[in-house]
Structures are given as C-alpha cells and as structure tokens.
C-alpha cells in the first residue's frame, strides 16, 4: 500500500492569519497530485490538479506548489477566513493513472 | 446540473444481509470509483472502473463487488456485510481518470452501519 502523508493533522488559526500545510508522497512513479477541499457534511471538491515538477497553482487566496523530485506539495492559504475551515486532502496518482491514494487530510479551523 | 448521485445516503443493516449502494453520474465520465472513509484513515479506494465492463480492485476490495454495465452507473455491492464494513462511502467520477486534468467529482456520501 502506497503511503501519502499530510501534516499537520489539524490546525487552528486566527482569522487573517496565513497558513500552510504539507503533503508528502513517493517520488517515484509520479503522475499527478490533486488537492481537495472537504467541508463538513459536504463532498470533497477539487482545488488543484498538479502534474509538473515546480508547478504552482493559485485560486484566489489559496495556492499550491509541487516538488516531484523530493515528493512533497505545499498548500498555502493567505489571510484565512472562517469559510476556509475545512479538511484539505491531497491525492497522489501514480503513472498508471487509474488509482488515487489519499492522505488523511489536514483539518483547518479558522477562528473569527 | 452535473452531479454524482448515491443512494441510499444512510443505511443501517444487519450482518449478512446483502445490500447495494447505487452510484450514477450525468457527466459522461469514463472513470468511476468507490472509496471508504474511516476515522484516522484517508479515503481508501475500494474499486475503480476505467470504462464500461472494465473494473479493477483498489486497495481495500475485500467484501465488495462492483459492476459497470452502463457508463453512467457503478453500483457497490456488499454480498454479506460485516460490522467492519461500517463506514462512510463515496462514489466519484472523472472524465479520464488520473490522466490530464482528471479531477474527481464526488457524490454526497453514503453512511452505512452494519450491526
């Protein structure tokens, strides 16, 4: 079983703080890395799909970077807002393209 | 509206009583997959399907069956449910699986309890 790790497991920040978390994955057989946002009582929704080493993606206040050689991706949230409170999941896709391996997620709580 | 629909959303059943969780998508996606979510563990892939009549095991297929007779439907079958299959289940679809920009679109989840 392939191991994808996310840290920290949970995070509490004040509104307005910037924060970041990590997804670590195997550096071999890499095809893609996905980030998903999962709000309580809802379904996970895709944030980013990243495929190239050095990729940087941005959506509003949220951005992500990718280092496939060392096997990690960072997700950054600038100026956190209460509506950013959610669990953030990463998923590693190996080069066969057919299996998704999820981390356990980082639970973010933004305190107003 | 583009969506993935799962039924039932909630189910309490007893050990050994066969059940099926249906999953249907209206986006003409090639790829469909099932996951289970348990406390402290990430989403774990049970089965996936790259296309009609093409299915394969994920990481935790024991105790489950699937079929893909039509592109839009991918039911999950528990022939003889056991308490260790109590979990939150998600169905997800993707245009082309993990390739390209194949992000997953998730259903709303099915919470299953096996007594």
pLDDT, tens digit (0-9, with 9 covering 90-100), for A32-82: 999 999 999 899 999 999 998 899 999 999 999 999 999 999 999 999 999
Q: Are B34 and B66 in contact (CB under 8 A)?
A: yes
pLDDT tier for residue B55 given thresholds of 50, 70 and 90 = very high
Closest CA to B112 of B4, B38, B27, B3: B38
Interface contact B27, partner A, CB < 8 A: no
Rounded mean pLDDT of B95-114?
A: 85
CA distances from B50 to A70, A94, B95, B107 (A): 30, 15, 10, 18
Cis peptide before B8 (omega within 30 of 0): yes
Residues in chain B closer than 8 A to A43 (CB atoms): 90, 106-109
CA distances from B92 to B18, B25, B34, B105 (A): 22, 9, 6, 5
Residues in chain B closer than 8 A to A1 (CB atoms): 59
Residue carrying structure tokens 């970041």: A20
Contact (CB<8Å) B108/A46: no
Task: Name residues 74-113 of chain B within 8 A of A (Cβ).
Answer: 90, 97-99, 101-109
Residue A10 has pLDDT above 90, yes or no: yes
Query: Which pairing describes strands A10-14 and B87-94: parallel, antiparallel, or unpaired?
Result: unpaired
Q: Which spans in chain A are helix H?
A: none
Contact (CB<8Å) A31/B99: yes
Q: Are B11 and B114 in contact (CB under 8 A)?
A: no
């Amino acid at each position: 079983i392939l191991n994808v790790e996310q840290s920290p497991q949970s995070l509490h920040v004040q509104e307005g703080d910037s924060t970041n978390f990590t997804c670590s994955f195997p550096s071999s057989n890499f095809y893609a890395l996905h980030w998903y946002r999962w709000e309580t009582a809802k379904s996970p929704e895709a944030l980013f799909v990243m495929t190239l080493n050095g990729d940087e993606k941005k959506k509003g206040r949220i951005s992500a970077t990718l280092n496939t050689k060392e096997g990690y991706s960072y997700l950054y949230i600038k100026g956190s807002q209460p509506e950013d409170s959610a669990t953030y999941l990463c998923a590693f896709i190996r080069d066969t393209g057919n299996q998704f391996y999820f981390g356990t997620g980082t639970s973010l709580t933004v305190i107003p | 509206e583009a969506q993935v629909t799962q039924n039932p959303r909630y189910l309490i059943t007893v050990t050994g009583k066969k059940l099926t969780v249906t999953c249907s998508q209206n986006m003409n996606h090639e790829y469909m997959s099932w996951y289970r979510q348990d406390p402290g563990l990430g989403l774990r892939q049970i089965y996936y399907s790259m296309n009609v009549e093409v299915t394969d095991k994920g990481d935790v297929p024991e105790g489950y069956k699937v079929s893909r007779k039509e592109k839009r439907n991918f039911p999950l079958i528990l022939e003889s449910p056991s308490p260790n299959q109590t979990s939150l289940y998600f169905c997800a679809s993707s245009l082309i699986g993990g390739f390209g920009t194949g992000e997953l679109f998730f259903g709303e989840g099915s919470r299953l309890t096996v007594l």
